[in-house]
Amino acid sequence: MELKLKHEQTKRALSSLLELVLKFKEGSNDSILRDAMVQRFEYTTEAFWKYLKAFLKEEHNFLANSPREVIRTGLQAKLYDEKLSSELLQMFLKSFKMLFFILLILELTIKLNLSILTRIE
């Protein structure tokens, strides 16, 4: 049950973030919009790694406690390849370069949705 809840939280967070990213891309340079986008980004990355942590525990019986451990453990579980793992780690280690990391989360979320998460719903 915890996994399904975290999955839903991550999907909602990502959707909320993407809504603001699209408005920002339309040319809005509003500082309030930018600040809200940063806050939603932070919330989305937090929700994402906690979801991945719960997924690894429930589906693979792997324990990981930090974002770095979660990403490395996801690689061990063969959820993604070394290239994507390295890119995710770099993003966590380099203070989350915002737009690039969003794209990586989108890519991984899509991969997980298509191959694994459909069993949950």
Q: Is 32 helix (H, G, I), strand (E, B) or coil?
A: helix
Q: Mean pLDDT over residues 23-36, rounded?
A: 80
| Cβ contact 97:88 at 8 Å | no
Dihedral of CA atoms 27, 28, 34, 37 in degrees, nearest 10, equals -70
CATH number, position 105: 1.20.120.330
Per the structure, how many domains does the chain have? 1
Q: Tens digits of per-residue pLDDT, 37-91?
A: 888 888 888 898 899 999 999 999 999 998 889 999 999 999 989 998 998 887 6
pTM (two decimals)? 0.71
Angle at 55 between CA 52 and CA 56, to 5 degrees: 85
Supply the range of the domain harboring residue 80.
2-119
